[in-house]
Amino acid sequence: MPEYAVELKDVSKVFHSGSGGEEKVHAVKDINLIISAGEFFTLLGPSGCGKTTTLRLVAGFEVPSSGEVFIQNKAMSKIPPNLRPVNTVFQNYALFPHLNVEKNVAFGLAVKRVPKAERLQRTKEALGLVQLAEMGYRKPSQLSGGQQQRVALARALVNQPAVLLLDEPLGALDLKLRKAMQLELKQIQKQVGITFIYVTHDQEEALTMSDRIAVMSQGDILQVGDPVSLYERPATRFVADFIGESNFFTGMMKAIEKDIAQLEVGSEIVSVSCGIIKANIGDQVTFTVRPEKMMMTTNPAELDAIPGLEADVEEIVYIGTDTRYILRMSDKSTSVMRLQNTCIDDLRRYQKGDHVRVYWKTEDARIILD
Amino acid sequence: MRTKVKISTGHLYFLILALLLYAPIFLLVIFSFNNSTQLVFPLKGFTLEWYRQLIQNRELLEAVRTSVLLATGSSIVATFLGTLGAIAITRYDFKAKGIFTGIAAMPLVIPYIILGVSLLILYNTIDIKLSAMAAGAAHVVISLPYALLIVSSRLVGFPNNLEEAAMDLGTSYWGALLRVTLPICSPALVAAFLICFTLSFDEFAIASFLVGTQPTLPVYLYSQLRFPNRLPLVVTLAAILMVVSMVVMFLAEWMRRAGAANTSRR
């Protein structure tokens, strides 16, 4: 049996709220998850989806209502947080205000009675790793948010845990610093080779850093995969909508051949790929196309010839690198088409009010679970 | 060159208030050095006679000892229990939190004389002998809300997952309290102790009912008022009490603020 860093087996967590505990909140519902050693694994979802609860279950701050958490193949249900081979970087950093930076970082080693010489050495290395070697004697209150975040990271990493848990550690930083820290975190993770479990609601952050991502919603894990497969092959409407931007259309299944389906949308016939969804002829299905993968034409010769949908350009939004065209489809729903501004002429290609035909490559349109 | 000092209504108001508050205390201190048994102006002359008599008075020294022991003991217990209560109300969510806090803070609004009488009745009923110890238990009750409020105001100023962070780094729950919570609270603990101490040290109403044959300083002081020739002694003692109390209160507030400034976030 291979050794996993973390395995969750049918883990549920129910919180009782209300004055008499009569209200039950299912924060996590029977989730199963396997995280390999050395992975950068992200739990992604909107607030309240259960991602932080999942992290706290691994850390030991919450006990599962049912199911079992395994860390390095050992069942954790009877092991308190202080005896688990994991460390946490908290959202608010939770640095000890009465200790200086060096003592904060050395805290875990001091608790474990690591000899002083080794403690100093490892503390120094950890502070060097997060580029705070000179700040050892400052108090946390004298550091900026980004520096406090690095101290929190060093304080966790210095213990060489089997798994590092990070609960939205970059949430409080401004955009530029956050982007720099994303790359740095990823690099540090590669350097130390420790399994990271990272919680975030920021899909871009998740795509940037992760080896694999689990998308969560309302206590369920909807889809697990690497960034490319999640973005290119979302399984559900929620995943397609939460990661990046998506257009959704519904149509009736007319024919299926291998992976390609012919759908009737209004009076048009379009072809899309089936993905992993099983559907029968005659079923109503939803499919999605990313805005940047849509194409459109105003050429009268092509307007009727290409399989696709009719639309009117309702609004044009210039956003620097790209231009977004808000389209009014013939069934009155709106869609978005996104075009990169490779040269200044691109800006004049379509005008507000143009009647266009929207189309796509078959593999870029996918049927999803609604 | 002379700068004109402007006195606004606000200044005037403050001056009058301060005068009303502190002039009587100042008078006490002056009369404690006055060479006369009569507390009237004009002053007769400077003397340390009353202070000399005070430190030679065995009954009085015994009362001081009782008071110090009682105040120390009751404030240690009150600070300890108050800290536990503060941790409970700031770190945990439990059902009867509001009721708990209300009951713990109740002694703030109960008149001491009523508390004293009712405790006297209680002690008699369940057959507890009146003593300084019995009064000390009552002092724990009245000091507890102060300790609770001072320590919890300190605790709410810090992220409530510091204990979790410590446990995450390998300490047990009690280890986290010892290594993180208590050090953070230490200025508040000292402040709470000092305030409870002055409260108990100065308290008369409850003590007068419960001390039995072991008078505390305020109780002793009151008993001496019956003898006119000892009035200067009482005044001197009162002057000392006032000054010591003020110094201790000042220290407590200074500790609390120094602690707050030292570890405030950002």
The pLDDT value recorded for residue A255 is 87
Model ipTM over 0.85:
no
> 3-state class of B18 per DSSP?
helix
> HSE of B158 in the Cβ direction (CA atoms, 13 Å)?
31
The residue type found at A201 is H
Local confidence band at B265 (pLDDT 50, 70, 90 cut-offs): very low
Which residue type, as a one-letter code, is found at position A187? Q
Chain A contact for B98 (CB, 8 A cutoff): no
Q: Is the peptide bond before B42 cis (omega within 30 degrees of 0)?
A: yes
More confident residue, A223 or B261: A223
CA-based nearest residue in chain A for residue B98: A19
Map residue B134 onto helix, strand or coil: helix
Do the domain assignments include residue B225? Answer: yes
The DSSP code sequence of A305-317 is TSSSEEEEEEEEE
Q: Is residue B73 part of a domain?
A: yes
Chain A residues at the B interface, defined by Cβ less than 8 Å, are 19-20, 59, 61, 80-83, 86-88, 90, 92, 94-98, 107-108, 111-112, 139, 141, 155-156, 159
Total domains in the fold of chain B: 1
| A127 and A68 Cβ atoms separated by less than 8 Å | no
Position A86: which residue type? V
Find the domain containing B70 and state its range: 63-264
CA dihedral B129, B135, B140, B146 (to 10 degrees): 160
Average pLDDT over residues B233-246: 82
**Comparing A302 with A125, which gets the higher pLDDT?**
A125
Report d(CA A179, CA A314) in Å as an integer: 34
What number is the average pLDDT over the span A321-349? 86
Average pLDDT of span A213-225: 93
Say whether residue B171 is in contact with chain A using an 8 A CB cutoff: yes
| Tokens representing residue A93 in the block | 């950093």
Integer Cα distance of A140 and A147 in angstroms:
9
Tens-digit pLDDT profile for residues A31-68: 999 999 999 999 999 988 999 999 999 999 999 999 99
What's residue B251's pLDDT?
83
Q: pTM for the full model? A: 0.80
Count residue pairs from A and B with Cβ separation < 8 A.
69
Judge whether residue A155 has pLDDT over 70. Answer: yes
C-alpha to C-alpha distance for A123 and A130, rounded to whole angstroms: 11
Q: Could you tell me which residues are beta bridge partners of residue A8? A: A33, A69
Answer yes or no: is B49 within a domain: no
β-pairing, A268-273 vs A86-89, is unpaired
Q: Taking CB atoms and an 8 Å limit, are A97 and B263 in contact across chains?
A: yes
* Chain-chain contact of B171 with A90 (C-beta, under 8 angstroms): no
Of A82, A98, A156, the CB nearest to B167: A82
Q: Is the predicted pLDDT of residue B263 greater than 60, yes or no?
A: no
Q: Confidence class of residue B266 from pLDDT cuts 50, 70 and 90?
A: very low
Per-residue pLDDT at B159 exceeds 90: no
CB spacing of B265 vs A141 below 8 angstroms: yes
- The pLDDT score that the predictor gives to residue A1 is 52
Average pLDDT over residues A187-210: 92
Measured distance CA(A191)–CA(A185) in Å, rounded = 10
Q: Which range among A115-119, A156-160, B89-93 shows the weakest confidence by mean pLDDT?
A: B89-93
CATH number at residue B205: 1.10.3720.10
Q: Is the pLDDT of residue A351 over 90?
A: no
Residue B37 lies in a domain: no
Which residue does chain A place closest to B158, by CA atoms? A97
Strands A334-340 vs A355-359: parallel, antiparallel or unpaired? unpaired
Q: Is B42 domain-assigned?
A: no
Domain for residue B21, yes or no?
Answer: no
pLDDT in tens, A75-114: 998 899 999 999 999 988 899 998 999 999 999 999 999 9
Q: Which two tokens stand for residue B109?
A: 């609004």
pLDDT tops 80 at residue B110: yes
pLDDT class of B106 with cuts at 50, 70, 90: confident
Q: In what order do the strands lie in the sheet with A195-200?
A: A86-89, A163-167, A195-200, A40-44, A212-217, A220-225
Percentage of chain B lying above the pLDDT 70 cut:
94
Is A347's pLDDT higher than 90? Answer: no
pLDDT digits (tens, 9 = 90+) for B121-137: 998 898 888 888 888 89
Q: Quick one: pLDDT band at residue A161, thresholds 50, 70, 90?
A: very high
Query: Which range has the worst mean pLDDT, A5-9, A237-241, B3-7?
Result: B3-7
Tokens 């809300």 -> residue: B145
Separation between Cα atoms, residue A80 and residue A64, nearest integer Å: 13
- Residue B208 CB contacts under 8 Å (≥ 6 apart), including other chains: B116, B218, B219, B222
Report yes or no: B116 and B211 within 8 Å, Cβ to Cβ: no
pLDDT at A70 over 90: yes
> How remote is the C-alpha of A327 from its chain's centroid?
28
B175 neighbourhood in chain A, CB within 8 Å: 82, 111
What DSSP character marks residue B226? Answer: T
How many of the other CB atoms lie within 10 Å of CB of B104?
21
Q: Chain A residue with minimal CA distance to B182?
A: A98
- The DSSP-derived string for A180-207 is HHHHHHHHHHHHH--EEEEEES-HHHHH
Mutate to test the interface with A, among B168, B178, B189 (most CBs of A within 10 A): B168
In a domain, B7, yes or no: no
Q: Contact, A355 vs A328, CB < 8 A?
A: no
In a 3-state reduction of DSSP, which class is residue A170? coil
Residue A210 has pLDDT above 90, yes or no: yes
User: What residues does B264 pair with on adjacent strands?
Assistant: none
Mean pLDDT, rounded, for B208-215: 85
Domain-embedded: residue B92 = yes
Mean pLDDT over each residue of chain A, to the nearest integer: 89
Give the tens place of pLDDT for each residue, A248-276. Answer: 999 998 888 888 888 988 888 898 988 77
How many C-beta neighbours within 10 Å does residue A66 have?
A: 11
Interacting residues of B42 by C-beta distance below 8 A, sequence separation 6+: none
Q: A146 — phi, psi (to 5°)? A: -65, -40
**Cα A225 to the center of its chain, rounded Å:** 10
Q: Which residues, at least 6 apart from B93, have a Cβ–Cβ distance to it below 8 Å? A: none
Report the residue of A107, A148, A153, A167 to disrupt the B interface, i.e. the one with the largest count of B CBs within 10 Å.
A107
| DSSP annotation of A356 | E
Neighbour-count burial for A37-60, b at 16+ CB within 10 Å, e otherwise: eebbbbbbbeeebbbbbbbbbbbb
Q: Write the pLDDT tens digit of every residue in B67-83.
A: 899 999 999 999 999 99
Integer Cα distance of A227 and A208 in angstroms: 8
SS3 of residue A182 by DSSP: helix
Of A80, A94, A97, which is closest to B161 when you measure between CB atoms?
A94
Contact B207, B219 (CB under 8 A): yes
Looking at every residue in chain B, the average pLDDT score rounds to: 84
The answer to whether B54 contacts chain A (CB < 8 Å) is no
What DSSP element (H or E) covers B207? Answer: helix B205-210
Judged by a CB distance cut-off of 8 A, whether residue B170 touches chain A is yes
